[in-house]
Structure 1
Amino acid sequence: MGRKLDSIKPRLKEFIEKQKIFFVGTAADEGRVNISPKGIDSFRVINKNKIVWLNLTGSGNETAAHLIKNSRMTIMFCAFEGAPLILRLYGNAIAHHKRDKEFHTYINLFPPHTGSRQIVEMHIDLVQTSCGFGVPLMDFKEERNTLLEWADEKGKEGIEAYWENKNTESIDGFKTNII
């Protein structure tokens, strides 16, 4: 059944690299808890205790706002194909914006996307596996390109205007520091 580990072991890294979706959980000390599904080719294991993921422009920017208030983060993967497994990564994270040196350190690990908004760097202090026996089996059909096409249509200037209009505050009114 479940195990607690101090790092991402090689077989878990292989599992992560095969996943098409992951879930990110964050919360400030007050306000709402946020859980966001993430897909596309946006997750990298840097080493056994550090990951980065590319945060693409979306309707909200809760993760960035929460990380300013409280750096705790949980990432969860579920095996929807193959052997059952749930994998959680626990740790502390920071959001790097385009103006930050760290953003440019990691951005070339990902395919170029017009909507690239932040790179989240997470230092992992606990890795937990659990059985996943209750997770349904589902077949992967294909990636949705809607988000990428939407960002490409807006272009760089349109995305930046969108950030200013829709991504500067969380739903609880916390600043995201996107601008």
Structure 2
Amino acid sequence: MGRIYESIDDHQRKWIDKQSMFFVGTAPTATDGHINVSPKGPIGSLRVLDEHTVAYLDIVGSGAETIAHIRDNGRVVVMLCAFQGPPRILRLHGRGEVVLPDDPRFDELLALGFHEPEAAEARRAIIVVHVERIADSCGYGVPLLAYEGERPHSDLSTAKRIRVEGPGAMRAYEAKHNRVSIDGLPALS
């Protein structure tokens, strides 16, 4: 049976650090908009900042649904599930905040030691989640999963894009692919 917690305690913090990845779920305000769930990792890109706050380093990707939805209504959930050991799912529901690289808080947050991509140009934002509800559930229905390692594709793709297109390649990619969500909501300007 699931439980609700008052805060992210040391036990949960240690458990989070042992997971291989996490998922981020968001939805637009509009009822006809697309719900989004994004797999994220490695786990070192997620940090527990305090008992009611987590943050993760967001890198340039093919879309910007999470950013657009957070800007639209702030609602977000971070979900982790056990790959090994006892079955468990932990959900951190809250209000999200997008901190872009030009925000003075970005460097302060970055100094907390997030796992970073090889090229700094791949950094897109830091997503801060002000956690309002902490809940776990059994996870009995989740199969055993095997973590085999990190994929090199993101770093290789970024390096190639910068090599071929030049130093502004990642910002140009964002301008082309991350300006709006699939529903047309503003994401990155």
State the TM bucket, normalised to the shorter chain. over 0.9
2:57 and 2:116 in contact (8 A); partners too:
no
Runs of 4 or more consecutive aligned structure 1 residues displaced over 6 Å after TM superposition: none
Amino acid at match of 1:104: D
Give deviations 1:87-118, integer Å, cap 9, x for gaps: 00011011111111121111132244331101
Where does residue 71 of structure 2 map in the other structure?
Answer: 68
Where does residue 94 of structure 2 map in the other structure?
Answer: 91
Identical-residue share of aligned pairs (%): 37
Where does residue 132 of structure 1 map in the other structure?
Answer: 139
How far, CA to CA, are the matches of 1:55 and 1:153 in structure 2?
A: 19
Give deviations 1:25-71, integer Å, cap 9, x for gaps: 11121111111000123100011111110111110000110111100
Q: Residue 168 of structure 2: SS of its match in structure 1?
A: helix
Residue 37 of structure 1: which of 26, 36, 39 is its match?
Answer: 39
Q: Residue 149 of structure 1: SS of its match in structure 2?
A: helix
Q: Residue 120 of structure 1: SS of its match in structure 2?
A: strand
How far, CA to CA, are the matches of 2:46 and 2:177 in structure 1?
A: 24
Aligned pair 1:151/2:158, yes or no? Answer: yes
Residue 176 of structure 2: which of 160, 165, 175 is its match?
Answer: 165
Aligned length: 178
Q: CA deviation at 1:125?
A: 1.0
Aligned pair 1:26/2:26, yes or no? Answer: yes
How far, CA to CA, are the matches of 2:46 and 2:186 in structure 1?
A: 25
Q: Residue 139 of structure 1: SS of its match in structure 2?
A: coil
Give deviations 1:96-144, integer Å, cap 9, x for gaps: 1111112111113224433110100111111001001111112211111
Q: TM-score, normalised to structure 2's length?
A: 0.90
Q: Residue 169 of structure 2: SS of its match in structure 1?
A: helix
* Unpaired stretches in structure 2, ≥5 consecutive residues: none
2:93 and 2:134 in contact (8 A); partners too:
yes
Aligned pair 1:17/2:28, yes or no? Answer: no
How far, CA to CA, are the matches of 1:111 and 1:4 in structure 2?
A: 29
How far, CA to CA, are the matches of 2:19 and 2:155 in structure 1?
A: 19
Amino acid at match of 1:34: N
Q: Residue 153 of structure 1: SS of its match in structure 2?
A: helix
What RMSD in Å do the two structures reach over aligned CA positions? 1.1
Q: CA deviation at 1:19?
A: 1.1
